[in-house]
Chains A and B, each alone.
Chain A
């Protein structure tokens, strides 16, 4: 089915380990985003990508690494996990045009179902 999928849905790991969260979208959207959601902070942008091989930092990038070699995939890696990175992670995608081609520049971001990550 078309859409945006995240994996895994749940992950428990230990401090110091490397963990990668996957995000895949089938719309060929140009933009992809990674957010973390924590109580009292809403959603905070970690990294985003405007196209394949183009990435940039968001509000809270420290401790995270991203890559985007293909338009449809945008993995997020925690190189050495810390307890403060326990959170719910959402991937999102968007594009400048609606599929009908009629609307420019006002498409909402479409979110995946999230990954709940616990670091012990």
Chain B
């Protein structure tokens, strides 16, 4: 099936640092989504992107829909302890109804 390559798989950073993660694919996507999952909870939608080149912010989070439509990036600025969790990218393929998920990036923050 279609795959999204999400990297890095894990990150260990200091509080206050900026974070970057990305998802890439060989396929073209119409929609990119970024989710965060806390332990024992369901994923929560952070940002949705619908157009190539689109740059969208949600507080300290900024995500971009790549120009080629094959990738997306999520940046978190000035990380804080509550940013800890697993971040997933997800994409909706052209003409498809179902989302494809990346494997997740586990973010750990040292105070």
- Are the chains A and B members of one assembly? no
